[in-house]
Structure 1
Amino acid sequence: MQNTRLNLLLASFSNQAQQFFANPWRRISLLLISLLFGFFMALAISSIAGQRGDLDVVVAAIMLIFTEVVSRVAYRNNRNNSGLIDFLNLFKVGLTYGFYLQAFILGS
């Protein structure tokens, strides 16, 4: 690629972000926020889809495809995952946990 101003700006932003998240406490806190945000989104999605009533199958299919794609990307043979893949994986874990918890709440 050419060294345009936009490319240089994106490269410097990427380097600054990698240095910022190199600190283990910041990384752990962002992973925890990703997990909790996935849990929150599961509760929000199940409430919205349950209220509408006609989107249940579509939302379930979209969530299933999302979790399977994230699992395939995260659990490939090479374990040299980037931070974004780890964040997506923990988002998926929180999403799945939230859906299971919501199913137990609605089932009782």
Structure 2
Amino acid sequence: MSESTERVQTADRLWQEFRQEPFPDSLRRATFGGTHVWLLELDIAGCVLRWLDSSGTLDSKNSILLQSRIEDLDRVILEINDLVGAQYCQRLHQLAALVSRNLPSTK
């Protein structure tokens, strides 16, 4: 099995696990530096689904969006005081980082 195929399968498994988790109540109205956590999740989820539907590829627009949202999530995670919320965001970050690996650089 190729590394690419294995990565898609791993991401799909992580996505299925992530979807089973309820969005933490502590994050429903949470904003950090003007960033709404629910919007980060929505954008990242959209990119992950596009990536999975395209067998591990993402167009440049969504690649840029994903990289930007990962950077936002990096900042947000540092500010979350709730353990459940922080763990939820860390799992989202793990999934986003897996998908973004080997995408074209946006810088």
Q: TM bucket by the smaller chain?
A: 0.3 to 0.5
Q: Which has the larger radius of gyration?
A: 1
Greater RCO, CA 8 A, separation 6+: 1
TM-score for the superposition, normalised by structure 1: 0.40
